[in-house]
Structure 1
Amino acid sequence: MSSDSQVYDKIVHVDASRAIKDIGYARSVTAQAPAFVVYNDAFLDLLGGSPQIKLVETRDYEFAHEAGVFSPLTNSVFFTSNYQSSDPVEIHSVDCSTLAITKVAWPEVHHGNGACQYQSKVLYCSQGSRSVPSSLVLVDPLTNASETLINNFYGREFSSINDVVVNHKTGDIWFTDPTYGFEQAFRPSPTMPVQLYRFSPAKHQVWMVADSFTQCNGLCFSEDYKRMYVTDTGAIQAHAGPGDGHQFSCNPRLPATIYVYDVIHGQRLQNRRVFAYCNNGVPDGIKCDQYGNVYSGCGDGVHVWDTEGTLIGKINVGGTTANFCFTDSGLWLFAEKKLFFCRFGTKGALVDIECSR
């Protein structure tokens, strides 16, 4: 491993009139990394006066992959490694003040993937194993106490819960359930379709609220909770053979798409439509900023769209960035073998709620 302190502030301005009819140029603008790639001046407004991308850590394995959550209790960001064949998924934390990285262990979290903040604690998507059902596990990072909140749909096991968000107005928990655990050979054959769910801890009830995905993955609410964005990463497929579960392939004819729904009375989803398509890799983790712009981790960094689905910019780190995490001081990017921190002029939609101490 190596601790890095390299800082990048390059801004690449894209000539849209040239890019639309020059394939070579359109591809070349993202070859300069790390850098901020500006497709629309609206992105410059978000960046502010002195945006920077800092390389915090580099390792020889995919230690920084998913589940980025800020904990005000510890002033740190928790994140998980990628699943790598027989190696278990690791959980780390990075101290937001010192940048020190610490490995933590919560045995109840099996193959942890997505996560979010809930009741000031960390709520993990425990994808499960061949013998342990997939579940949502709430962890207290101060005491290390953990609690399973849900692990079945009226007696039927979830496939491998992937990502989770909380509606802070209602207290309900929403989560996606694709089949990646089975495709990576650590979960049994699915007995449920690929679907999205709403769970009410207060009522002890769960509802299926959306389907018709190839592989639903990331999800988030708009800044006003009136819309929900859901990513479909169906273009990414894993080999299910023994010992090669970490090997992925990409089928460019399958979805790399973000869908948006209207949220009805905080309970149901209606009016599904395409919001955006990712031009590099797939859109994995997804979040909104304070203005409603949409951010998603893609094949070369974090892509940013305005509320109409127009690509306005990229935080380009030159490699797959499955997920990221807003804090009150900036944005953490989990780029598999690299961990970045980005400082710029915009806050995440949930920063005032989740980062208050």
Structure 2
Amino acid sequence: MTTLKVSDLPVLPIEVKTIDRAAESNGSVRPFSALPNSDELTILSYDQEFTQILGTNPTQSLLLSTTASTKNPFFHEACVFLPSQNELYITSNLLASTSSSAFPTILISRIKFTRAESSNDIKSLEWAKLRPPPGIDMPNGGVNYKDGILFCAQGSPAPGTGGLYYMPLNAPPKPIVTNWHARDFNSVNDVVVSKKDGGIWFTDPCYGYQQGFRRRPELPNQVYRYDIENGECRVVADGFERCNGICFAPGEGKVYISDTGVVWGDGGRDLQRPATIYSFDVSPSNALTNRTLFAYAAQGIPDGIKCDTHGNVYSGTGAGVEVWNPSGSLIGTIVVPGGLGCANFCFGNEGEMFICGEQRLWRVQLGEGTSVRGDLLGV
């Protein structure tokens, strides 16, 4: 497909607003909304812990935007950075088909960066929109895996589709796990890989069926672990309205899983349902125990979630990216303008974040030392 080249990307400071929670009414914080027509991010800092993460001069670059052209939501999920290639892979939200009788589609964006010689800033980029390769039907989440990416394929209306597929560099995709005891998964959503033993953990809500492109579910909304050594695919957690994002804490003694039950795939919302991140302890036998409510999203739902090297938990929400310390206290928010929030994001090089805003993609540079657990890159 056609490649778009963009150069001379501006690097701008991010306004940081320090919020005194004690001064707000009853100790709560009033919602903050960026101007809908703005392209600039804003940071809300509720605690000195977050100020340390930000560093002395956080900056932003708007890398890509479709707001003045197609308005298509190309920057939605996955958001996987390949450091060896200096490339970013992002899956779109549902794109309307050109035919009224066809199902919606999802495209993969491959964005290759050229860095400035004197800094980590991005000087230019090349953006290519790709059709998913065979097998990776309606891709959603993804994670670094070996020399490529492990994609979540939500599947199509046809039986026998969906699951996890490994997309290596310069080679066709390889199916990893595509069913549970001959039953199709619902619509695999997000995935993380253990550095300790290579186990693959993933969530499987029923959003594909609710969005009209997947068969009626054959399984509950559950979380699974696939053992690459013996081929066992095991249910490790249930009881979710809509299990969604998943990530490990540093050391992998704890796993975080979000429940986005507030949002139904058909567009409906029920504010009495979960918009919640739960924490679980991971036992030596890879069982999940001690389910604990970790955090509730201040705005919207907690979609993609990740931990930094210090154990802080980040999640894409209706506000942008909300950040909690390891104790579950909200310490800051990177506010995304436009009212669409952020479904997912990822860490790049040291202190770097890429933030998906549906129609816009940003690069943020925070303080040095703020990064995803580096041992997960290149699993």
Common fold: TM-score over 0.5: yes
Partner of 1:67: 78
Whether the 8 Å CA contact 1:328–1:355 is kept in 2: the answer is no
Task: After TM superposition, give the deviation of residue 133 of structure 1 in Å.
Answer: 1.8
> Secondary structure at the residue paired with 1:42?
helix
Partner of 2:306: 287
Partner of 2:127: 101
Task: After TM superposition, give the deviation of residue 99 of structure 1 in Å.
Answer: 2.4
Match of 2:335 among 311, 316, 328: 316
Task: Describe the shift of the 1:271–1:22 C-alpha distance in structure 2 as closer, same or farther (beyond 3 A).
Answer: closer
1:26 corresponds to 2:30: yes
Whether the 8 Å CA contact 1:179–1:215 is kept in 2: the answer is yes
Task: After TM superposition, give the deviation of residue 96 of structure 1 in Å.
Answer: 3.0
> Secondary structure at the residue paired with 1:45?
helix
1:54 corresponds to 2:92: no
> Secondary structure at the residue paired with 1:99?
strand
1:304 corresponds to 2:323: yes
1:158 counterpart letter in structure 2? F
Q: For 2:378 and 2:125, how far apart are their aligned partners in 1?
A: 17
Identity in percent: 35
Task: Describe the shift of the 1:266–1:90 C-alpha distance in structure 2 as closer, same or farther (beyond 3 A).
Answer: farther
1:277 counterpart letter in structure 2? Y
Partner of 1:337: 359
Q: For 1:120 and 1:196, how far apart are their aligned partners in 2?
A: 25
Partner of 2:167: 139
1:326 corresponds to 2:347: yes
Give 5+ residue unaligned stretches, structure 1.
240-247
Task: Describe the shift of the 1:220–1:353 C-alpha distance in structure 2 as closer, same or farther (beyond 3 A).
Answer: closer
Partner of 2:108: 91
Q: Point out 4+ residue stretches in structure 1 off by more than 4 angstroms.
A: 1-4
Q: For 1:308 and 1:22, how far apart are their aligned partners in 2?
A: 18
Deviations 1:275-322 (A, max 9, x none): 000010100000000000000000021000000000000111123100
Whether the 8 Å CA contact 2:134–2:173 is kept in 1: the answer is no
> Secondary structure at the residue paired with 2:23?
helix
1:252 corresponds to 2:271: yes
Task: Describe the shift of the 1:301–1:266 C-alpha distance in structure 2 as closer, same or farther (beyond 3 A).
Answer: farther
> Secondary structure at the residue paired with 2:125?
coil
Task: After TM superposition, give the deviation of residue 8 of structure 1 in Å.
Answer: 4.2
Normalised TM-score (structure 2): 0.86
Task: After TM superposition, give the deviation of residue 355 of structure 1 in Å.
Answer: 6.4
Partner of 2:16: 11
Q: For 1:264 and 1:39, how far apart are their aligned partners in 2?
A: 34
Deviations 1:193-216 (A, max 9, x none): 000000012211110000000000
1:219 corresponds to 2:226: no
1:44 corresponds to 2:51: yes
Task: After TM superposition, give the deviation of residue 41 of structure 1 in Å.
Answer: 1.2
Q: For 1:19 and 1:337, how far apart are their aligned partners in 2?
A: 33
Greater fraction of residues in strand = 1
> Secondary structure at the residue paired with 1:236?
coil
2:371 counterpart letter in structure 1? G
1:136 counterpart letter in structure 2? L
Whether the 8 Å CA contact 2:5–2:127 is kept in 1: the answer is no
Deviations 1:333-357 (A, max 9, x none): 111001011100143232354169x
Whether the 8 Å CA contact 2:321–2:333 is kept in 1: the answer is yes
Task: After TM superposition, give the deviation of residue 2 of structure 1 in Å.
Answer: 10
Task: After TM superposition, give the deviation of residue 53 of structure 1 in Å.
Answer: 2.1
> Secondary structure at the residue paired with 1:237?
coil
Q: For 1:300 and 1:351, how far apart are their aligned partners in 2?
A: 27
Task: After TM superposition, give the deviation of residue 21 of structure 1 in Å.
Answer: 2.9
1:165 corresponds to 2:192: yes
Give 5+ residue unaligned stretches, structure 2.
97-102, 115-123
Whether the 8 Å CA contact 2:222–2:239 is kept in 1: the answer is yes
Q: For 2:19 and 2:259, how far apart are their aligned partners in 1?
A: 27
Match of 2:235 among 208, 216, 224: 208
**How many pairs were matched up?**
345
